[in-house]
Structure 1
Amino acid sequence: MTAPALYRTRIRHVRRTPLRHAFTYRGLSWFVDLDDLPRLPVWLRPFARFDGRDHFAGEPSLRAGLDEVLADAGVDPTGWRVTALLAPRAFGYVFNPLSLYWCHDDTGAVRCVVAEVHNTYGGRHPYVLFPDADGRVETEKVFYVSPFNPVEGRYTLQVPEPGTQLAVSVTLHRDGHRPFVASMHGKRTPVTTVRVAGAVLRVPLAPQLVAARIRIQGVVLWLRGLPVVPRRTVPSQQLEASR
């Protein structure tokens, strides 16, 4: 099993076209083993709780939801160990713009990575990826995320499994340009009751704050005249699967 860890992160979003806009904010991510999730003291659980219903198709456990996604992609994860980088639910609310899952076979090698993207409309979509040895991979964009970007283009992701340092990036490519780049960096610290309590005291409503910051930046872009790209109608079956 992998010991849980915390990463105090620096997250940066850069929009290059059709107008230039960038912002940076701080966050907190957990690195956990899906088969050995952290057991916090009762008084801390309202501030940090992992619930499978917040991910994938809403299975009771995170591992069950991930296994279903892999099976749908033709991957058999039986006997695999899975580590994940994600944010927990706090006071009944959770928002994970990007959750990452590293799937290790029985030799310990990373066989694939699942990148689960959440948008501010309550939708989520998993990308099953097969990165190279450096954690680099490309995939088509198929999910509506930002109201200012159409569902077109390709992503380049750098998703090496974090160690002492966390360094993840996502670059959108479209029409020979890179209109959007997001990156997340952080330093690893072990999970202890004192550290978790300290993080809660500094930012007691972390997921609510992240969602608010993203929405505020959206309003800023809209006020600057960036046109909104309408969402396509989602079939009812797909909508149910994303909840």
Structure 2
Amino acid sequence: MVTAPSAGPPAALYPCVIIHRRRAPQRYALRHRTYLWLVDLDHLPELPRPLGLLAHFSARDHFTGRAPSIRAALDGFLDQHGIDPRGCRVLMLAHARILGHVFNPLTLYWCYAPDGTVRCVVAEVHNTYGGRHAYLLHSDATGTASVAKDFYVSPFHPIDGHYEMRVPPPGELLHLSIRLHRPGSPPFTAAVRGTRRAATVPELLRLSLRHPWSTLAVSAAIRFHGIRLFLRGLPVQPRPGRRTPESLS
């Protein structure tokens, strides 16, 4: 069993499929299968040796990369945005570091108030150029929030428009979606669909064998499809100055 301290809830695994669809200026769709972890930031799972190579969570992989823990980094972000994180329980959905490598295009943090309601959601985005940015979301009863786009992610989209993110807390099923709305263009959509599994050693081994080095596969797939779109003639948008972790907002 993948264990957590007795005070915390058990972690979960979500085998899932990630779907991207664009309709202009060219129609293109991709599907990628992987798996994600759902963990309590105050009670990160502990794996028996040597299975720690298959899942490790490090503060250097999130926000500025300099905080002593992921929870401390998130609390600092919330403080900067006028939200008191004390008493909040936080669930994080993300890839773990596998065999020394991790890439999280999107990490989600659900911040729960002491009464169990979702106080806010933080969406942390990484691009393949080493940049990081975090968005603070105040979602409605359906888990939907809108936020202006403020970060260069794809070389085929400039920094304009806004995101409509549907990020309800994960249950037995994981249903997430993001729609990028830009002036004069049909929306670009991305979705994640998954089913909850208990985070046991057999389940982790099964998923690791089915999706070996899954985080490297994710970053490789993004580059592969980017090259295909470029060769199809999709115009590349200029990349602004590099956004460093220090510029997170």
TM norm. shorter chain > 0.5 = yes
Question: What is the alpha-carbon distance in structure 1 between the residues aligned to residue 133 and residue 187 of structure 2?
Answer: 21
Q: Does 1:56 align with 2:35?
A: no
Gaps of 5+ in 1: none
Alignment correspondent of 1:195: 203
Alignment correspondent of 1:4: 11
Q: Does 1:239 align with 2:244?
A: yes
1:224-235 pair list within 5 angstroms: 224-234=232-242
Runs of 4+, deviation exceeding 2 Å? 176-179
Q: Tell me if structure 2 keeps the 8 A contact 1:12–1:22.
A: yes
Q: CA deviation at 1:241?
A: 1.6
Q: CA deviation at 1:2?
A: 2.7
Q: CA deviation at 1:240?
A: 4.7
SS in 1 for 2:18: strand
SS in 2 for 1:45: helix
Q: Does 1:106 align with 2:114?
A: yes
Q: Does 1:75 align with 2:83?
A: yes
Question: What is the alpha-carbon distance in structure 2 between the residues aligned to residue 4 and residue 240 of structure 1?
Answer: 27
TM-score (norm 2): 0.93
Q: Tell me if structure 2 keeps the 8 A contact 1:51–1:60.
A: no
Amino acid aligned to 1:70: L
Q: Does 1:159 align with 2:167?
A: yes
Amino acid aligned to 1:130: H
Count the aligned residue pairs.
Answer: 240
SS in 2 for 1:126: strand
Q: Give the root-mean-square deviation of aligned CA atoms.
A: 1.3
Question: What is the alpha-carbon distance in structure 2 between the residues aligned to residue 27 and residue 97 of structure 1?
Answer: 13
Q: Tell me if structure 1 keeps the 8 A contact 2:150–2:160.
A: yes
2:127 pairs with one of 115, 119, 124: 119
Alignment correspondent of 2:33: 26
TM-score (norm 1): 0.96
Question: What is the alpha-carbon distance in structure 1 between the residues aligned to residue 180 and residue 85 of structure 2?
Answer: 29
Alignment correspondent of 2:5: none
Question: What is the alpha-carbon distance in structure 2 between the residues aligned to residue 105 and residue 164 of structure 1?
Answer: 21
Q: CA deviation at 1:3?
A: 1.7
Deviation per residue, 1:120-166 (Å, 9 max, x gap)? 11111110110001100100000000000000001000000010000
Question: What is the alpha-carbon distance in structure 2 between the residues aligned to residue 177 and residue 226 of structure 1?
Answer: 14
Alignment correspondent of 1:39: 46
Gaps of 5+ in 2: 1-7
Alignment correspondent of 1:214: 222
Question: What is the alpha-carbon distance in structure 2 between the residues aligned to residue 79 and residue 101 of structure 1?
Answer: 15
Question: What is the alpha-carbon distance in structure 2 between the residues aligned to residue 178 and residue 7 of structure 1?
Answer: 30
Q: Does 1:150 align with 2:158?
A: yes
Question: What is the alpha-carbon distance in structure 1 between the residues aligned to residue 217 and residue 125 of structure 2?
Answer: 18
Question: What is the alpha-carbon distance in structure 2 between the residues aligned to residue 61 and residue 242 of structure 1?
Answer: 19
